[in-house]
Amino acid sequence: MAALAAGNGAEHVSELKSLRLEFKGAAGVFEFLGPKVPEATAANPTRMRVQRTAPAPFAVVVELPAEYPSDAPPVFRIEAAASPAGGDGGGGAAAAAAAAGGLEDAQVDAIEAFLAEQAGYMRGMACISATLRSLDDLDLADLDLGSPGRFRSIFTLDLVNNSPHFKKALEGAAAGNPCAFFYRTIACQNNAKFSFAVDPLRSVFVVCDAPDKAAAVSFMKTMRTDGAMDYDMLGKISKVQLSVVEEFELAPFAPLCVEESAGCFAGAEYRTDEDREALMGPLMASTAGVKKR
């Protein structure tokens, strides 16, 4: 395992022993979920569950990445608290986290972000116990809940014939909401097919963030129905033919596709698929979407 090769395996074993000792007198508070440190892998890291009563009744599942503690913090995830009868609160690891102590999803996200932040202050150190203790004085009323309810739309266009016009029309359709687009250029000076083209673009990906679902729907409706978004091959004003990639609710703490300080509208050229993946990866639902609970 990478943890053993990096010298982290011994740290994992030592910290697990310390945690078992710390919670020895509190029945049902600490639960080792496995696998044993020598058997852990990147896909199946060592995990444990710790029951909490403050700031609300819930359980914290802690994962030990192979890079912890030398190069990465532990991972904390909130679950429903165990039932008094020793059950799993109605679903165990798959239980809706909102059921944890009656917390809302946004509060669960905020607590997980809080724990990640606390652990981040102790990079390179065994920090699980100290991070969990930071919950003792946490007031739910003081939680930063981020910005829940935002929606992101991502679509692609095979071709844009008149990019100056398209950019202006796209910015107008975004109506001040953050909007980013990524594209490849076309060399067309000697191509009769593009005789009416003005700085044409190909393989264009557009990302737009809306404050709520209704605004996202309105934006996509405009993109689909506005007959003046681009010019066709004959130089006549036209619609665009788009294909939806993803539409999803943003996680409360996910950054905007373009920050307000940058003017909320920006474009960038990419030359390879790898470049595009580097630009788009952090914006996709798998990274920026709200968690399914």
**Residue 52 belongs to domain with CATH number:** 3.10.110.10
DSSP letter for 131, please. H
Domain that residue 60 falls in? 2-142
Mean pLDDT of 134-148: 89
Question: What is residue 187's predicted lDDT score, i.e. its pLDDT?
Answer: 72
Q: Which helix (H) or strand (E) is 268 found in, with range?
A: strand 265-269
Mean pLDDT of 162-185: 96
- Considering the domain architecture, whether residues 219 and 263 belong to the same structural domain is answered as yes
> pLDDT (tens digit, 9 = 90+) per residue, 205-220?
999 999 999 999 999 9
> pLDDT (tens digit, 9 = 90+) per residue, 89-106?
444 443 444 455 578 888
- Considering the domain architecture, whether residues 37 and 88 belong to the same structural domain is answered as yes
Question: What is residue 184's predicted lDDT score, i.e. its pLDDT?
Answer: 96
Strand 179-185 and strand 151-160: pairing? Answer: unpaired
DSSP string, 133-188: HTTTT--GGG-----TT-EEEEEEEEEESBHHHHHHHHHHHHTTS-EEEEEEE---
Among the ranges 72-81, 185-194, 284-293, which has the highest mean pLDDT value?
A: 72-81
- Considering the domain architecture, whether residues 165 and 126 belong to the same structural domain is answered as no
Do the domain assignments include residue 15? yes
Task: Tell me the longest C-alpha to C-alpha distance in the chain.
Answer: 81
Question: Looking at 142, 169, 191, which one is the last position of a domain?
Answer: 142
Do the domain assignments include residue 293? no
Question: Which residue, among 153, 123, 113, 124, has the nearest Cα to 248 in the 3D structure?
Answer: 153
d(CA 71, CA 184): 36
**Residue 155 belongs to domain with CATH number:** 3.30.70
Contact 12, 64 (CB under 8 A): yes
- Considering the domain architecture, whether residues 132 and 158 belong to the same structural domain is answered as no
- Considering the domain architecture, whether residues 157 and 272 belong to the same structural domain is answered as yes
- Considering the domain architecture, whether residues 48 and 165 belong to the same structural domain is answered as no
- Considering the domain architecture, whether residues 135 and 64 belong to the same structural domain is answered as yes
Structural domain tally of the chain?
A: 2
Question: Looking at 142, 161, 193, which one is the last position of a domain?
Answer: 142
pLDDT at 109 > cutoff 90: no
- Considering the domain architecture, whether residues 163 and 128 belong to the same structural domain is answered as no
